[in-house]
């Protein structure tokens, strides 16, 4: 039983670490998407008068 609790604790720590790395990855992707949207909007506003 003690070994099972130890295994669960190790798995929980790994999940927490993975979720932290996933959170930073999602932030990066979110920032990149916003940047791309701003660039495309900016390009569209430039292309309209020509």
Whether 41 is in a domain gets the answer yes
Q: Is this structure's pTM higher than 0.85? A: no
Place of tokens 């295994």: 7
pLDDT at 1: 60
pLDDT at 50: 58
Whether 31 is in a domain gets the answer yes
State how many domains the chain has: 1
Residue 49's domain comprises 24-50
For the chain, where are the alpha helices, taking DSSP H only?
A: 2-47
The 10s digit of each residue's pLDDT in 8-44 is 999 889 888 888 888 889 999 999 999 999 999 988 8
pLDDT at 48: 64
Whether 10 is in a domain gets the answer no
């Amino acid at each position: 039983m003690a070994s099972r609790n130890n295994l669960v604790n190790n798995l929980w720590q790994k999940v927490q670490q993975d979720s932290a790395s996933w959170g930073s990855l999602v932030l990066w992707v979110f920032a990149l998407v916003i940047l791309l949207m701003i660039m495309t909007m900016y390009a569209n506003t430039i292309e309209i008068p020509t």
